[in-house]
């Protein structure tokens, strides 16, 4: 009988026990896969989010991160023009983020506003209607949530209120704009009511009367491989601002969420320990139950190497079956856990904590199989070292 057939026959002698061990390994494998996906998935998802529209560099006020504070860049128009002249820059556009209100009948609803330059926008994807054109001071773009709250569709007009005057409790800035399109804002959290207009309109709504202000400037590089080099040029050209490449932002993001990586390492290690204990315990029990059979096989000429190999094959078989089930279970649980974590307030809807990648599946499978194989070493050694005469004498007593 082949080694694999012998191993299956041995495992099927106690089907319930084997099934429970396989179920335990499956749970451990699922946890391991989820933790591998979590440890690298957060950074990958964040990088993909930043590069969703192909803009690799952000310019922000000194000492800040994009949208991290309410600080703004002054003379944004001049800064954008100067940025576009830097070698390697394919496009650049200023963005202003601000809070504002929308008027629906006699009530005001809170919105988030984006001021953009349509010729170099990196914040949204058009879902319906038409895009804004440069200089379109009467148009506005709505997120689906904003369209629902305002009860507006493409072609309708909406009233936006920039700020309230606390002296008289009335609106200080009020603009009526026509809805050009409905868009998906890349960085919005789920169901965030957001609107977008050209930069001068949003500056007026935000009350930016002291200068041409923006929250950040987004820069696209060509070719992509030149991002680090162009970022260096921008730092030399504009020392008064912060220049962040996607790699810089990912590093900052990694530091802020280091506890997620620590959690993934701890839980992943626990899953491996559980797998080792399950495989080693089951094989040790099986070897002890079959010690007489093993001694008989050794007496008729079966080598120690063969016995060692058969027990190791049992360990690999258990791990392979349980791991295969665990991968399916891990993908399902990762999807469920991701839906919970991404529902936290303030997280972009496009962000994901668990990213299934081929390398994640490969790494988890390799580590699990290696662990299962190593777990069978001790029971295999016990089986191969069993004394033939002593065991047969004990069995016959």
For every residue of 292-323, DSSP letters joined together read: HHHHHHHHTT--HHHHHHHHHHHHHHHHHHHH
Q: What is the pLDDT of residues 71-86, one digit of tens each?
A: 889 888 899 999 999 9
Asked whether the predicted pLDDT for residue 307 surpasses 50, the reply is yes
What's the CA gap between 318 and 326, in Å, rounded? 12
Separation of first and last alpha carbons in the chain:
29
CA 65 – CA 183 distance, rounded (Å): 25
Closest C-alpha to 242, from 68, 98, 87:
68
- Per-residue burial over 171-207, b = 16 or more CB atoms within 10 Å of its CB, e = otherwise: bebebebebbbbbebbbbbeebbbbbbbbbbbbbbbe
Per residue in 263-272, pLDDT (tens digit) is: 778 888 888 8
Taken in order 347, 348, 353, 354, the sign of the CA dihedral is positive
Tokens of 117: 């330059």
- Reply yes or no on whether the pLDDT at 178 is more than 90: yes
Token code pair at residue 49: 């989010």
22: Cβ contacts below 8 Å, ≥ 6 apart = 318, 321, 322, 325
Q: Return the DSSP state at 285.
A: H
Neighbours of 17 (CB within 10 A): 13
pLDDT digits (tens, 9 = 90+) for 238-268: 999 999 988 888 887 777 777 777 777 888 8
Say how far apart CA 320 and CA 184 lie, in whole Å.
43
Alpha-carbon distance of 79 to 76, in angstroms, equals 5
> Where would I find the beta strands (DSSP E) of the chain?
57-61, 89-104, 107-116, 124-129, 139-142, 157-161, 164-165, 170-171, 174-185, 194-198, 216-221, 241-245
Burial of 240 (0-12, 13-18, 19+ CB in 10 A): exposed
Which of 102-116, 136-150, 170-184, 215-229 comes out lowest in average pLDDT? 170-184
User: Looking at residue 170, what is its pLDDT?
Assistant: 46
> Average pLDDT of 210-223?
86
Handedness of CA 70, 74, 76, 80 (dihedral sign): negative
């Amino acid at each position: 009988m082949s080694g694999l057939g012998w191993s299956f026959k041995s495992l099927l002698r106690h089907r319930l026990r084997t099934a429970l061990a396989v179920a335990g390994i499956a749970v451990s494998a699922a946890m391991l896969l989820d933790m591998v996906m979590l440890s690298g998935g957060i950074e990958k998802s964040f990088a993909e989010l930043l590069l969703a529209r192909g803009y690799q560099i952000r310019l922000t006020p000194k000492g800040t991160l994009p949208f991290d504070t309410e600080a703004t860049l002054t003379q944004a128009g001049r800064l954008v023009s100067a940025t576009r002249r830097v070698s390697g820059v394919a496009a650049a556009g200023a963005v202003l983020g601000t809070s504002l209100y929308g008027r629906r009948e006699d009530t005001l609803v809170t919105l988030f506003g984006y001021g953009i330059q349509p010729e170099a926008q990196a914040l949204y994807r058009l879902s319906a209607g038409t895009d804004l054109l440069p200089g379109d001071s009467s148009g506005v773009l709505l997120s689906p949530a904003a369209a629902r709250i305002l009860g507006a569709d493409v072609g309708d007009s909406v009233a936006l209120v920039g700020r309230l005057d606390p002296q008289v409790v009335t609106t200080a800035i009020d603009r009526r704009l026509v809805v050009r399109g409905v868009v998906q804002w890349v960085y919005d959290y789920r169901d965030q009511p957001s609107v977008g207009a050209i930069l001068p309109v949003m500056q007026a709504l935000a009350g930016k009367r002291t200068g041409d202000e923006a929250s950040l400037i987004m820069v696209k590089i060509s070719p992509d491989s030149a991002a680090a080099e162009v970022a260096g040029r921008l730092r030399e050209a504009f020392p008064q601002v912060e220049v962040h490449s996607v790699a810089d932002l990912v590093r900052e993001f990694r530091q802020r969420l280091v506890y997620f990586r620590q959690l993934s390492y701890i839980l992943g290690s626990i899953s491996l320990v559980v797998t080792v204990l399950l495989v080693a315990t089951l094989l040790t029990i099986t070897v002890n139950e079959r010690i007489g059979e093993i001694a008989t096989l050794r007496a008729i000429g079966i080598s120690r190497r063969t016995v060692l190999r058969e027990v190791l094959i049992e360990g690999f078989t258990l791990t392979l079956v349980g791991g295969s089930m665990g991968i399916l279970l891990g993908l399902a649980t990762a999807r469920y856990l991701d839906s919970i974590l991404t529902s936290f307030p303030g997280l972009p809807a496009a962000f994901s904590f668990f990213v299934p990648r081929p390398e994640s599946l490969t790494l988890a499978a390799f580590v699990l199989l290696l662990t299962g194989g190593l777990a069978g070493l001790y029971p295999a050694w016990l089986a191969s070292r069993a004394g033939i005469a002593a065991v047969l004498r004990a069995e016959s007593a």
